[in-house]
């Protein structure tokens, strides 16, 4: 009589061999693309942070400058506060949000690194061990298989959802973020021109008037930047992390 082949055990052994081979050959295109997206997002966030902090620094310089405002010094001082005080407040809040976005991306990069090689190696060993148990009467194979499913979910789902973020970023966030950043660069240059005209009251008044007429557009750009980074680097990653953990813990309750 031919011995009965245990298909589940063979499948687990083949899976374990594949995982260990991938680990030793460092074959992991999923993780590589996820790392590339996170590095790109970190650079974009830092670039936006530098622009916003540059605006903040320019506003602070203008507000702290001692101007020769005669004969209309009081009026110019009032106009200065009317334009720059709310702008300074808004820029400060957006810069804090961008800092949180940078920390979020750094945390994702750290988690991706933790979920990379080590989990692949452990998953390969667990797959071989649980596959071998299918050919014996030793108890405990169900626990090993559940643990294997948990590790595989963490290992592969986390970079997969990061890649989904990449698709959303390229298709929706990137063109909008670049347009807003370009507008904010122009605003930063306007403020620097305002600084250069600080000793020429008429030039200063003209530049301040132009900045005042664009104030609603400036606020709109700052709000858009805040919205895009909140969705891309805070809300979506938190949702993805919650989904990954939920599915990973669900793997422990599967009947095997």
- 256 vs 186: CA distance, rounded Å: 61
What burial letters (b/e) apply to 102-128, b meaning 16+ CB within 10 Å? bebbeebbebbeebbbebbebbbebbb
pLDDT score of 165 more than 60:
yes
For residue 13, the model assigns a pLDDT of: 86
Residue 168 has pLDDT above 60, yes or no: yes
Buried-state track 53-91, b at ≥16 Cβ within 10 A, e below 16: bbbbebbeebeeeeeeeeeeeeebeebbeebbeebbebb
pLDDT of residue 122: 86
pLDDT of residue 128: 87
Mean pLDDT of all residues in 209-218: 74
Q: Is 65 helix (H, G, I), strand (E, B) or coil?
A: coil
Provide the pLDDT confidence category of residue 198 given band limits of 50, 70 and 90.
Answer: low
Highest average pLDDT, of 1-15, 85-99, 107-121, comes from: 85-99
Residue range 194-218: mean pLDDT, rounded: 69
Record the tokens describing residue 219, joined without a space.
Answer: 């606020």
Q: CA-CA distance, 231 to 222, in Å (whole number)?
A: 14
Q: Is the pLDDT of residue 205 over 70?
A: no
Kindly report, residue by residue over 51-82, the tens digit of the pLDDT: 998 888 888 777 776 555 545 455 555 556 66
Mean pLDDT confidence for 162-178: 86
Q: Is the confidence at residue 95, as pLDDT, over 70?
A: yes
**Mean pLDDT in residue range 160-185:** 86
Model confidence at 191, pLDDT cuts 50, 70, 90, reads confident
Is the model's pLDDT at 162 over the cut of 80? yes
* pLDDT score of 214: 73
Mean pLDDT value across the chain: 79
- Average pLDDT rounded to a whole number, residues 159-164: 86
Cα(81)–Cα(63) distance, integer angstroms: 8
């Amino acid at each position: 009589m031919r011995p009965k082949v245990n298909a589940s055990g063979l499948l687990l052994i083949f899976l374990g061999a594949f995982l260990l081979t991938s680990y030793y050959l460092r074959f992991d295109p999923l993780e590589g693309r996820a790392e590339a997206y996170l590095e790109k997002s970190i650079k974009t966030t830092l670039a936006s942070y530098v622009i916003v902090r540059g605006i903040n620094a320019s506003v602070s310089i203008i507000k702290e400058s001692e101007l020769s405002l005669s004969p209309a010094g009081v009026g110019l001082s009032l106009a200065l506060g009317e334009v720059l005080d709310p702008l300074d407040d808004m820029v400060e809040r957006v810069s804090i949000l961008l800092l949180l976005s940078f920390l979020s991306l750094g945390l994702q990069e750290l988690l991706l690194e933790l979920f990379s090689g080590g989990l692949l190696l452990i998953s390969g060993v667990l797959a071989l061990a649980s596959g071998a148990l299918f050919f014996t009467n030793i108890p405990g194979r169900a626990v090993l298989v559940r643990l294997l499913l948990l590790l595989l979910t963490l290992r592969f789902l986390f970079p997969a959802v990061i890649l989904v973020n990449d698709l959303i970023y390229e298709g929706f966030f990137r063109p909008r973020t670049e347009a807003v950043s370009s507008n904010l660069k122009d605003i930063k240059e306007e403020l620097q021109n305002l600084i250069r005209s600080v000793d020429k009251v008429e030039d200063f008044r003209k530049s301040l008037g132009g900045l005042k007429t664009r104030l609603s557009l400036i606020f709109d750009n700052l709000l858009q930047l805040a919205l895009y980074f909140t969705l891309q680097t805070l809300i979506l990653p938190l949702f993805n992390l919650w989904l990954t953990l939920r599915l990973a813990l669900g793997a422990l309750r599967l009947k095997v």
